[in-house]
Structure 1
């Protein structure tokens, strides 16, 4: 059964001097409207490749992605994106940075209406008193708040988050996690987030999708979160299933580590055998 968002047989192949390199293969995932899904896996497994294809920033080689009954074929305001670095215009104020997108999405709104939309979302992320502060003068955490406000102000059907808290200190990270969840509950935006952090995935998501190692990465296992919303961090940590889920997720990642070590050892043995055969031939 298809969901509000559907990834079907999604694949990404790059041409290289040594032939085609298949990064992601047969990636399948359905997401319900308003669902929060975390994509978790080791570095280089293809998580960001999946997200950039969903954002329309990376051409799809195989399969497709449907968002709200529309098959994507490029970037669009129906998908808001927040990267690890917010990529703000440093000479512009927080308000002006958010207005860049708002002006494009609401061209028929009055100047006052567009201002109010941008100011509203900046206030939601805690920057109501910093609307006119230049981005270059904001802390890293405040800049990321602007990036989150900018994404939500577009009223997207889907929000795509690529390790949005990865560059922040732990206290700022936890604070922004809760800010983001509050807005998501209010706006009910379907969200896909990439993370390396098991605890972050457990706290934030409705569903955690574990990816196998690349190349030819795909969905390896899916964990459903039993925690109620709105989330209270202390209650999540005290939930009887929290540490079992955490252990199962870490075990999956360790299993992928062992598979990679075995594959690397087999490749090394094959290379040494080929080199020995070449030496004998000479």
Structure 2
């Protein structure tokens, strides 16, 4: 069934000196409008590759991506992106960093109107008193708030988050998770987030999509998360199914570990057996 966002038979292949390297293969995922999906998997499985293709920052080798009935062919303001590092202009103020995008999306608005939009989203993320501070003078958590405000200020149809809280301390991480969910509840933006954190995925998402190990990574498991919205952390942790879902996710990831270990051992054995034996050696 078609969705607001469609990724169909999505694939990414890189040319290498040893031949084509297939990173992602036959990745299929549909998302409803306003849905929050977390993409989970081991390092190197292709999560960021999928997200960068949706963002239009990485060419698609196979398949396609449709967002709001428009097949994407490059980056655009309909998709806001927040990376692990906020990628700010350090010499510019918080509001000027947000205005970089706002000025492009609202070219016909007055200077005052564009500044009001940027200031509004910075206030939502708790930076109302820091609009004119330079990015380099802000803490890491405050810089990430600027990055989130900048993404929302574009009024995107889809928000793409690449481990946005991965470099933050646990208290700042939890605070920003809740701020982000509040804004998403208000603006109803369809969101795809990459995370390594099982608990973060459970708290934030409507569905968790777990990828298989690469190469040739694809969707391995999809979990529908039953917790209601708005999310209250204490209620989520007390939900009778919380630890069942958590255990199921961890078990799948552990199974992927065991499968990879088995494949590595088989490859090593095949390489050893293919090597010529020296004279006088005895096979054990």
- Normalised to the residue count of structure 1, the TM-score between the two structures is 0.98
Give the match for residue 207 of structure 1. 207
Secondary structure (helix, strand or coil) at the match of 2:275 reads helix
Say whether residues 1:217 and 2:217 are aligned partners. Answer: yes
Counterparts of 1:14-25 in structure 2, within 5 Å, are: 14-25=14-25
Q: For the residues of structure 1 that align with 2:266 and 2:106, how far apart are their CA atoms?
A: 56
Counterparts of 1:117-132 in structure 2, within 5 Å, are: 117-132=117-132
Give the match for residue 159 of structure 1. 159
Counterparts of 1:40-55 in structure 2, within 5 Å, are: 40-55=40-55
Give the match for residue 63 of structure 2. 63
1:212-263 CA distance string (max 9 Å, x none) = 0000000001000000000000000000110000000000000000000000
Q: For the residues of structure 2 that align with 1:223 and 1:121, how far apart are their CA atoms?
A: 32
Aligned length: 279
Secondary structure (helix, strand or coil) at the match of 1:45 reads coil
Give the match for residue 83 of structure 2. 83
Say whether residues 1:113 and 2:113 are aligned partners. Answer: yes
1:276 Cα deviation from its structure 2 partner: 3.3
1:275 Cα deviation from its structure 2 partner: 1.5
Q: For the residues of structure 1 that align with 2:226 and 2:55, how far apart are their CA atoms?
A: 29
Give the match for residue 27 of structure 2. 27
1:6-47 CA distance string (max 9 Å, x none) = 000000000001110000000000000000000000000000
Give the match for residue 6 of structure 2. 6
Give the match for residue 133 of structure 1. 133
Q: For the residues of structure 2 that align with 1:54 and 1:22, how far apart are their CA atoms?
A: 17
Give the match for residue 171 of structure 1. 171
Q: For the residues of structure 2 that align with 1:2 and 1:47, how far apart are their CA atoms?
A: 22
Unmatched segments (≥5 aa) in structure 2: 280-284
Give the match for residue 98 of structure 1. 98
1:274 Cα deviation from its structure 2 partner: 1.3
1:58-113 CA distance string (max 9 Å, x none) = 00000000000000000000000000000000000000000000000000000011
Give the match for residue 197 of structure 1. 197
Moved beyond 6 Å, runs of 4+: none
Q: For the residues of structure 1 that align with 2:172 and 2:275, how far apart are their CA atoms?
A: 52
Q: For the residues of structure 1 that align with 2:65 and 2:18, how far apart are their CA atoms?
A: 29
Unmatched segments (≥5 aa) in structure 1: none
Q: For the residues of structure 2 that align with 1:228 and 1:125, how far apart are their CA atoms?
A: 23
How big is the alpha-carbon RMSD for the aligned residues of Structure 1 and Structure 2?
Answer: 0.7
Counterparts of 1:222-241 in structure 2, within 5 Å, are: 222-241=222-241
